[in-house]
Structure 1
């Protein structure tokens, strides 16, 4: 049966009967977990198994934001604390190798509990005066170094059987407010955006998945955030950046977007996204989003299939205790 072009969250550490029934009927393409969903490793594994059982596929994408630092849904006491992305950017000469190892270890943690997609790397390039919603999540302030570390993280994740999602395309680094709470408006010129903001995404345009930015770029489309802008998606994301992978929205429940949840969803798909993302697990919101989201077919279905085709659940061999010791030593030495 065809999936719906949606990724949805759930409310707690296990599914309610109502959630299970809704997911069986809505058939989202994937799911996303947050800290509210994370208990013991055994509980997380039981939840990912239950989610997949709802839609009848053991390859269903289950996502998480596991960047390290302040954006790490799985952490102590059951999993290690990983450094924020900015820490890698300060490791001169060894940044890519250490970032790759950290991402490979993260992938091991995720794969063990049934999570096969990580919403990383963060390819946003902060600008002076921007909001700290990106802040130390960024790998640096130069597009080339952000791209180099981002590539290492993406490859480390894939080596461990986890797909990366680059974010927030075409760039959130200049935003002067947090898109969870308001709509950022960026007035930079098209040339400045192309030189600074778009560069890391262009360098990693071959990655399988990307998450859109709820940001208005006045030089490109002064009326609509990138998530809901056909101009940004066609001319920048698919055009200037050259990304032809699966494009998912950032969370449709964020306050950067306005209108009903049906309207938010319809605008995003009309603009050209492939898959909608709704994160908070609120049933009435998910029901509205599901009524507006299309079935996953056509070019979007082909992109989704191509992304999953790059998923190797076995991953590369890894001596986990040795790798953890080596990673800790490399960070300590720096």
Structure 2
């Protein structure tokens, strides 16, 4: 196909699709609406060859060979590719436990695991992995984060989060730091309801924001559907201009592409066009819609602008940040990783 669509005509949205193959209706919808990128879930995965065909079809539908294709492949309980297609990888908490026992072994294992994700995913046309989880759990926090976190101190989370980012980039992929500015104190699962965090801004700055400050130079971040009452008592971070401008952009210093967490999660209220409009009004660059529901996608698309100004600049910076995979030996890294985790 002749890839002719410039990114400047892309809508500021990332969409999923319904199944393991792209339907003609979905292809036409994507061609008409030109999303910036796509995201895959377990429902889209049957075999490795099938996924490679699907990612090619998604890019063909919009005529952009550089369109990012994302996935949540963390390890532990959030792993869209599962055995036997790929190994079952340990959780962030498992890596954190190794780090506490042996700092260098923990950092090395975390880097290797991300590099192995890239060995699994990059040949299939998947270019972005939505990790690391930089949330710092606190007492009373919901288990929706739980073992996904690397540790319970910001220093451990930041150190292992940096190693995870570097491993992905060594494999030609890019990371997404999440869930900015921090989900660890949330007392509810944002898939189902909206949590309110009452910690003071000073407490949040001293703990929750720290890993994000440490990794603020990364190209992409995903927002938290969490209300921080001491900063904005009325809106979750995803739809709060105050949080986006004062905390994410200013205090944390993140100037990369800010995408929303999934717009279909029940933490957000209103119809899908209203939710989408609020996300952009707050200052997010891109909205994320994951479930492949066509009616919902049509509403999200109707309220999503074409990338422009700073958002277009940040999207171009993402594309420019992709590099070629390094010369790592996959078999050797898998053996080393197995040894590191067996010793933990």
TM (normalized to structure 1)? 0.99
Q: What is the match of residue 62 of structure 1?
A: 69
Q: What is the match of residue 152 of structure 1?
A: 163
1:2-151, aligned counterparts within 5 Å? Answer: 2-91=9-98, 92=101, 93=103, 94-151=105-162
Shift of 1:117: 0.3
Query: Which 4+ residue blocks in structure 1 deviate beyond 2 angstroms?
Result: none
Query: For the residues of structure 2 that align with 1:77 and 1:266, how far apart are their CA atoms?
Result: 41
Shift of 1:57: 1.4
Shift of 1:59: 1.1
Q: Say whether residues 1:204 and 2:215 are aligned partners.
A: yes
Query: For the residues of structure 1 that align with 2:318 and 2:292, how far apart are their CA atoms?
Result: 25
Q: What is the match of residue 329 of structure 2?
A: 319
Query: For the residues of structure 1 that align with 2:328 and 2:25, how far apart are their CA atoms?
Result: 40
Q: 2:200 aligns with which of 184, 189, 199?
A: 189
Q: 2:189 aligns with which of 170, 178, 185?
A: 178
Query: For the residues of structure 2 that align with 1:161 and 1:25, how far apart are their CA atoms?
Result: 29
State the Cα RMSD in Å.
0.6
Q: 1:165 aligns with which of 161, 176, 179?
A: 176
Q: What is the match of residue 343 of structure 2?
A: 333
Deviations 1:95-116 (CA, angstroms, capped at 9, x unpaired): 1111001100101111011100
Query: For the residues of structure 2 that align with 1:300 and 1:201, how far apart are their CA atoms?
Result: 20
Query: For the residues of structure 1 that align with 2:311 and 2:19, how far apart are their CA atoms?
Result: 30
Query: For the residues of structure 2 that align with 1:96 and 1:58, how far apart are their CA atoms?
Result: 34
Query: For the residues of structure 2 that align with 1:9 and 1:176, how far apart are their CA atoms?
Result: 28
SS class of match (1:211): strand
SS class of match (2:231): coil
TM (normalized to structure 2)? 0.96
In the alignment of these two chains, the number of paired residues is 333
Query: For the residues of structure 2 that align with 1:16 and 1:40, how far apart are their CA atoms?
Result: 18
Query: For the residues of structure 1 that align with 2:252 and 2:184, how far apart are their CA atoms?
Result: 16
Q: 2:250 aligns with which of 236, 239, 244?
A: 239
SS class of match (1:63): strand
Query: For the residues of structure 2 that align with 1:47 and 1:84, how far apart are their CA atoms?
Result: 27
Deviations 1:106-132 (CA, angstroms, capped at 9, x unpaired): 011110111000000000000011110
Farther-moved stretch of structure 1 (281-290 vs 52-61): 52-61
1:213-232, aligned counterparts within 5 Å? Answer: 213-232=224-243
Query: For the residues of structure 2 that align with 1:23 and 1:99, how far apart are their CA atoms?
Result: 36
Shift of 1:145: 0.8
Deviations 1:207-258 (CA, angstroms, capped at 9, x unpaired): 0000000000000000000000000000000011000000000000000000
Q: Say whether residues 1:291 and 2:302 are aligned partners.
A: yes
Shift of 1:78: 1.0
SS class of match (1:289): helix
